[in-house]
Structures are given as C-alpha cells and as structure tokens.
C-alpha cells in the first residue's frame, strides 16, 4: 500500500490540495464560498440530450441544485463517495472522474478503496473576490504531448515535463507538456466558466457510469 500524503501549492489566485495514497475510510470536507451562484438550466441539459444518443436523466435532487464551482475536484485514483447534508442520495466517483459543480451545504468525501487520491484546485477561498474561471481537465497517456493555452495555469496530477504532481505552473509561449505516464492535467484559463461545456463533461461521465448516484439506506 502507498504511504498517505498531501500535496499543497499556491500561485497567484489559485490553490491546490492533493490527497494521495489515501486508505479506505479517509475523509475530507468541502464547503467553499461562492461569490455568485449560476445554476444548471434546462437549455444546457437539452444540448446534452441532443449530443448523447444514450442520454438518460440525471437525478433531480442534484442536477437542478448544481451550480458552477470556482474549484475543480478530480478523483485521480480509487473510488470516492460524496455526501451532502440534507440530501437523501450520495454520489460515487470512479478513477479519473471530476466535477466542476457543487450544491449548497457541507459535503463529506470518503475514500471507498485503498490507494485513493483526489485533487482540489481553484480560487483561493480567502480572496476578497471569488471569480469562476474556465477550466479543462485533460487525460494523457505516456508519450502524449500537449500545447496549453497561453496564460493558463497548469496543474498535473503526475510528475511530467513541466513540474511535479500537484504543482501549479503558468503556461508560457511554445512550451509543451510531455507525459511519461498516464495522468491528468487541469488547465485553468483566463476565460469565464463555460456552463454548457461543463454540463456536457458531466453528462459524459454520468452516462459512462464513472459518476453514479445512490439512495442512502
């Protein structure tokens, strides 16, 4: 079993908290403040329905209460469960799934397997203003090369050519990212958060069963 440890980093307006190699039963909590609450709409869900032929409805209790989160949570290894106070359901996240939304209330995340890892990246909650910036979550295999957007902030989940796992690196002109093993790259951009793209991302994970919802016993 891997040794459990936590990686932290901070650069400009972003912070990172990366729990690595967690044992089954490890818990962390989330209830970050948001300056604005932009909720998912039927119009955005209609786009997902048209894009995915295997579309099925999301659980009502979550989808219409989800709003854009200034932080991005990626479950890089293991299986995780999230529970939010006053909600009768819990969500289960499989490896390489992620979420850019949240619901109001204190949420508890629990590792359901050993060697579980999860990274939380986003706006420093102690800032006077908490904007919601655009972000992309890329998955790469060994040998892959990526050219990021200029002035974006890059957070790799594994060691790669630009830095260590969980570190924040600002993209510069003509500098590519090279991966020597499979991993993910979170890319925060200066652009506003794109609700439609994020709903499509979530729908893809939901329809592939990498994110699941269950009723509590």
CB 175 within 8 A of CB 128: no
Q: What pLDDT, on the 0 to 100 scale, is given for residue 1? A: 47
- State both tokens at 139: 């998955």
Q: What pLDDT, on the 0 to 100 scale, is given for residue 197? A: 95
Domain of 89: which CATH number?
2.60.120
Dump strand ranges (E) for the chain.
5-11, 14-22, 27-30, 67-77, 80-84, 89-93, 97-102, 107-111, 116-123, 133-140, 145-146, 153-156, 169-170, 177-178, 183-192, 211-215
Q: What pLDDT, on the 0 to 100 scale, is given for residue 134? A: 95
Q: What number of H helices and E strands is found in the chain?
A: 3, 16
Rounded Cα distance, 148 and 43, in Å: 30
Q: What is the chain's alpha carbon radius of gyration, rounded to the nearest angstrom?
A: 17
| Structural domain total, the chain | 1
Whether 137 is in a domain gets the answer yes
Q: Give Cβ neighbours of residue 138 (< 8 Å, ≥ 6 apart).
A: 146, 184, 185, 186, 187
Q: What pLDDT, on the 0 to 100 scale, is given for residue 180? A: 96
- State both tokens at 36: 């604005």
Whether 216 is in a domain gets the answer no
Whether 102 is in a domain gets the answer yes
Q: What is the pTM of this model?
A: 0.93
Q: What pLDDT, on the 0 to 100 scale, is given for residue 210? A: 96
The parent domain of residue 10 ranges over: 5-211
Whether 217 is in a domain gets the answer no
Q: What pLDDT, on the 0 to 100 scale, is given for residue 128? A: 85
Residue listed under structure tokens 């093993």? 181
Rounded Cα distance, 135 and 198, in Å: 9
Query: Which residue stretches of the chain have pLDDT < 70?
Result: 1-2, 33, 60
Question: What is the number of other CB atoms lying within 10 angstroms of the CB of residue 28?
Answer: 16
Q: What pLDDT, on the 0 to 100 scale, is given for residue 190? A: 92
């Amino acid at each position: 079993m891997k040794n459990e440890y936590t990686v932290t980093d901070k650069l400009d307006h972003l912070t990172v908290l990366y729990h690595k190699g967690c044992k089954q039963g490890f818990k962390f909590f989330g209830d970050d403040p948001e300056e604005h609450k932009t909720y998912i709409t039927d119009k955005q869900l209609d786009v997902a329905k048209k894009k995915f032929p295997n579309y099925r409805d999301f659980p009502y209790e979550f989808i219409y209460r989800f709003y854009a989160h200034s932080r991005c949570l990626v479950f890089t290894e293991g299986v995780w469960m999230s529970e939010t106070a006053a909600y009768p359901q819990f969500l289960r996240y499989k490896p390489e799934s992620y979420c850019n939304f949240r619901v109001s209330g204190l949420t508890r995340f629990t590792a359901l397997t050993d060697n579980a890892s999860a990274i939380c990246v986003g706006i420093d909650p102690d800032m006077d203003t908490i904007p919601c910036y655009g972000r992309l979550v890329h998955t790469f295999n060994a040998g892959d090369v990526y050219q990021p957007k200029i002035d974006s902030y890059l957070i790799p989940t594994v060691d790669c050519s630009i830095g260590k796992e969980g570190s924040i690196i600002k993209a510069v002109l003509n500098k590519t990212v090279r991966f020597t093993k499979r991993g993910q790259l979170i890319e925060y951009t200066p652009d506003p958060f794109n609700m439609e793209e994020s709903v499509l991302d979530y729908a893809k994970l939901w329809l592939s069963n990498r994110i699941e919802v269950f009723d509590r016993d």
